[in-house]
């Protein structure tokens, strides 16, 4: 068993260190990024207590501080289909979590596809995690929403193979299977206004650029989850990604991992990170905050 795990660690580490040339972003992605940056500049996601902006592990990060002494760290990876999104979009959620749980919330601006395909985002996440450990951050919970949930689960699998897993894992509407074969893409097409089969297929192609979607670091749904830390999974029952979260939860439980699933009817994709007044957000926020409390008090 030790020999097998050692070989897996070597293969994954070497793979992550290999640079892959990407390609230019499609015009639609470029325009959506411009609009997002315009919203940031316009203060759409501005918070009352501004985050610290710095470079950590070679990656630009936002650090939301708790009002008193830090009890631990939540390393959160934002969503956006691996090609969109930015840490500022998760600012209000992160500020609320820092205040509620007394933790520091760290948001990396990881590199995006298609200019930076897999494994660039995971490399950046790992670099930030390593830097936090060097700081002596205390208990670390890895968290992510949507595509960031896939990165969070992949980072957890990788860090376990490298011998230092996190205290806990939070997955919010996670995208964990880039084969895009889930029946939910069809069954929930009419109830998910934010994501679709077509969008998922395009995002996966831009991210993978020829790699297999069944690689466990690409699609953690195929990972060996034995030894994973306690995990909290949240989904809206009408999301096209609902079965990604439910299936991962089942896999964790089958492997003997402590895992909880909160499936909320009528809650949209990543609602809790988009606004705490959206349907299902308050319930989800309190549940995940209670989960984080276990590791930081």
The answer to whether 167 is a known catalytic residue is no
- Tell me the pLDDT tens digit for each residue of 236-263: 999 999 999 999 999 999 999 999 999 9
Helix (H, G, I), strand (E, B) or coil at 282: helix
The answer to whether 283 is a known catalytic residue is no
Angle of the 281-296 helix axis to the 91-101 helix axis, nearest 10? 50
Low pLDDT (below 50) residues in the chain: 1-14, 17
Output the pLDDT for position 137.
77
Of 94, 143, 146, 159, which is the active-site residue?
A: 146
Cα–Cα distances in Å, from 8 out to 2, 159, 213? 10, 12, 18
Output the pLDDT for position 115.
97
CATH class for the region spanning 37-296 = alpha beta
Residue 154 contacts by C-beta under 8 Å, 6 or more apart in sequence? Answer: 122, 216, 217, 218, 220, 223
Of 143, 159, 239, 281, which is the active-site residue?
A: 239
Residue 20 contacts by C-beta under 8 Å, 6 or more apart in sequence? Answer: 117, 118, 119, 120, 209
Helix (H, G, I), strand (E, B) or coil at 164: coil
The overall pTM is greater than 0.85: yes
Output the pLDDT for position 196.
95
Distance (Å, whole) CA 86 – CA 69? 27
Phi, psi of 192 (to 5 degrees): -120, 100
Distance (Å, whole) CA 48 – CA 283? 23
Output the pLDDT for position 104.
97
**How do the domains of the chain map onto residue ranges?**
37-296
Distance (Å, whole) CA 297 – CA 283? 21
Output the pLDDT for position 189.
96
């Amino acid at each position: 068993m030790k020999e097998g795990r050692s070989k897996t660690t070597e293969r994954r580490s070497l793979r992550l260190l290999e640079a892959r040339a990407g390609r230019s972003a499609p015009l639609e992605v470029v325009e959506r990024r411009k609009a997002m940056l315009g919203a940031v500049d316009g203060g759409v996601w501005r918070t009352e207590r501004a985050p610290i902006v710095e470079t950590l592990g070679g990656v630009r990060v936002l650090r939301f501080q708790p009002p008193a002494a830090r009890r631990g760290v939540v390393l959160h990876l934002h969503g956006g289909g691996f090609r969109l999104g930015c840490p500022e979009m998760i600012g209000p959620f992160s500020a609320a979590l820092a205040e509620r749980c007394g933790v520091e919330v760290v948001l990396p601006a990881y590199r995006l596809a298609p200019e930076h395909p897999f494994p660039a985002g995971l490399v950046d996440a790992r670099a930030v995690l390593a830097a936090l450990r060097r700081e002596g951050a205390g208990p670390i919970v890895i968290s992510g929403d949507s595509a960031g949930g896939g990165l969070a689960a992949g980072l957890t699998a990788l860090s376990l193979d490298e011998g230092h897993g996190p205290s806990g894992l939070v997955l919010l509407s996670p995208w964990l299977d880039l084969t895009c074969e889930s029946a939910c893409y069809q069954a929930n097409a009419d109830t998910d206004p934010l994501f679709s089969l077509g969008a998922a297929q395009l995002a996966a192609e831009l991210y993978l650029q020829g790699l297999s979607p069944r690689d466990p670091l690409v699609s953690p749904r195929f990972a060996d989850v034995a030894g994973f830390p306690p995990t909290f999974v949240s989904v809206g029952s009408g999301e096209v990604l609902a079965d990604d979260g439910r299936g991962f939860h089942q896999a964790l439980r089958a492997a003997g991992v402590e895992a909880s699933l909160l499936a909320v009817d009528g809650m949209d994709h990543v609602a809790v990170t988009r606004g705490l007044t959206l349907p299902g957000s308050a319930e989800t926020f309190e549940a995940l905050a209670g989960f984080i409390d276990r590791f930081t008090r």
